[in-house]
């Protein structure tokens, strides 16, 4: 004897399953992003309508470069090694918030750079930046960029 209730075959609907999977994926992404703590550096960018600094304002940035042979330059002006400490002291006294940008040429000795850095710190200057350039490696066919540097343009 047959049942009066029609017998249907079971079907799995895939469209609601896809909707649920997308919802779960979006939920997990939002939860994982909210758990990461983004840290950054505050940067004070100049505005387009900011007035230029007054001409009598003390300088707040000095570039120091250590060259081959122990030559030291303050803003491209050669300074004797014996006068470096006094010059740094005067800069710090004129502006306690002075910023130093320290760079070295390729053939400058590491010890001389560290010596200048020690002098900068000894006078109480705390804001120090370092200029780093990619070094080039001398090869048989001339200068070859260091690993990770972009390739040179082809010769004309």
Tokens of 89: 């002291």
> How many C-beta atoms lie closer than 10 Å to residue 72's C-beta?
22
How many residues in total does the chain contain? 156
pTM for this entry: 0.50
Residue 111 has pLDDT above 80, yes or no: yes
What's the confidence (pLDDT) of residue 153? 63
What's the confidence (pLDDT) of residue 34? 80
- pLDDT, tens digit (0-9, with 9 covering 90-100), for 19-56: 999 999 999 999 888 877 667 777 777 777 756 656 66
Gap between the Cα atoms of 83 and 72, Å rounded = 10
Domains with residue ranges and CATH for the chain: 61-136 (3.30.420.270)
The better pLDDT of the pair 53, 126 is held by 126
What's the confidence (pLDDT) of residue 107? 86
Burial bucket for residue 79 (CB in 10 Å: 0-12, 13-18, 19+): middle
Q: Per mean pLDDT, which range of 2-11, 22-31, 61-70 is the poorest?
A: 2-11
């Amino acid at each position: 004897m047959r049942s009066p209730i029609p017998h249907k075959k079971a079907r799995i609907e895939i469209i609601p399953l896809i909707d649920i999977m997308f919802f779960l994926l979006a939920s997990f992404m939002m939860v994982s992003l909210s758990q990461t703590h983004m840290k950054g550096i505050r940067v004070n960018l100049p505005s387009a309508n900011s007035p230029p600094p007054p001409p009598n304002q003390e300088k707040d940035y000095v570039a120091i470069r250590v060259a081959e042979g122990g030559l030291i330059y303050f803003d491209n002006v050669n300074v004797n090694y014996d006068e470096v400490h006094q010059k740094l002291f005067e800069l710090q006294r004129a502006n306690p918030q002075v910023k130093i940008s320290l760079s070295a040429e390729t053939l400058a000795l590491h010890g001389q750079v560290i010596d200048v850095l020690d002098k900068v710190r000894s006078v109480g200057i705390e804001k120090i930046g370092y200029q780093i350039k990619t070094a080039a490696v001398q090869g048989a066919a001339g200068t070859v960029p260091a690993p990770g540097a972009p390739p040179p343009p082809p010769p004309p």
